[in-house]
Amino acid sequence: MSTLEILDLHVSVGGDGGEDAKEILRGVNLTVASGETHALMGPNGSGKSTLAYAIAGHPKYTVTSGTVTLDGEDVLSMSVDERARAGLFLAMQYPVEVPGVTVSNFLRTAKTAIDGKAPNLRQWLKDVRGAMSDLKIDPAFAERNVNEGFSGGEKKRHEILQLELLGPRFAVLDETDSGLDVDALKIVSEGVNRIRENTDLGILLITHYTRILRYIKPQFVHVFVDGRIVEEGGPELADELEEHGYDRFVTAAAS
């Protein structure tokens, strides 16, 4: 069993980390173990995506104190590619386009970098075709440039395709439900659930809404307000948020 542990994490943005920097994360504590699904829920601007990017190593965000460890190894001292090879995966809220790089080349290059060797071509092609079929991705997309001209739903399905083929230990899914219609949400959720059933993937699912939690069932729910976790519980906490919203948590944090 592996463990991703975040302790007293403080993160700022802007000002090159100096006096003009704005503190976004104000002491985050969270532990995700293999096979667990944690939902991180909170209003806009609470810092949820900042946490995702800080874990992944985005240079825009400066960690001022605290730790992030993977099985005791210091994640914050790793480069972005080292974090990926260590088993961390980020599905971005707004996946970027990569002109000039086809989906098939991107996937095989990423798999080779993570595993340290190229996958067996025949088995790899079989795996890619099977995963694309399950996610209802047109096979022609394999020869298109990464995310170029893709719809929002196609971009999100491509993120889950990467997740399935690259086989990380922990995945941070940053508002994967954002911009998805009902059909695309169901396809993406089924993809995540299929991966959960076949692996011991640990998941941190970041979302505003409870609708994705109807399909991807978390064991743990955390309420995130003003850069910190202010409430924790089981799936019943998501039901409470569906009924009452975040108001009482926002008010309590402000006071």
Number of H helices, E strands in the chain: 8, 12
Report phi then psi at 159, rounded to 5: -60, -45
pLDDT band, residue 21 (cuts 50/70/90): confident
The C-alpha atoms of residue 81 and residue 113 are separated, in whole angstroms, by: 9
Asked if the model's pLDDT at residue 28 lies above 90, the reply is yes
Per-residue tokens: 191? 């993809």
Average of pLDDT values for 24-33? 97
pLDDT digits over 131-160, tens only?
999 999 999 999 999 999 999 999 999 999
Residue-level pLDDT at 78: 97
Residue 3, classified by CB atoms within 10 Å of its CB into exposed (0-12), middle (13-18) or buried (19+), is middle
Average of pLDDT values for 120-138? 95
Greater confidence (186 vs 17) lies with: 186
Is residue 230 within 8 Å of residue 199, measured between CB atoms? no
Asked if the model's pLDDT at residue 17 lies above 70, the reply is no
Residue-level pLDDT at 93: 87
Residue-level pLDDT at 1: 87
Beta-strand ranges (E) seen in 61-209 are 61-70, 73-74, 88-91, 98-102, 145-146, 170-174, 202-207
Q: Taking the model in full, what pTM does it have?
A: 0.94
The C-alpha atoms of residue 187 and residue 165 are separated, in whole angstroms, by: 16
CB neighbours of residue 219 within 10 Å: 13
CB neighbours of residue 18 within 10 Å: 9
Residue-level pLDDT at 9: 98
Minimal CA–CA distance to 187: which of 138, 141, 148, 127? 138
H or E segment to which residue 13 belongs: strand 3-13
pLDDT digits over 205-238, tens only?
999 889 999 999 999 999 999 999 999 999 999 9
The C-alpha atoms of residue 79 and residue 64 are separated, in whole angstroms, by: 17
Residue-level pLDDT at 225: 96
Asked if the model's pLDDT at residue 163 lies above 90, the reply is yes
Residue-level pLDDT at 209: 86
Asked if the model's pLDDT at residue 108 lies above 70, the reply is yes
H or E segment to which residue 155 belongs: helix 152-166
Average of pLDDT values for 114-141? 95
Q: What is the mean pLDDT of the chain?
A: 94
pLDDT band, residue 18 (cuts 50/70/90): low
Asked if the model's pLDDT at residue 16 lies above 80, the reply is no
Distance of CA 72 to the CA centre of its chain: 21
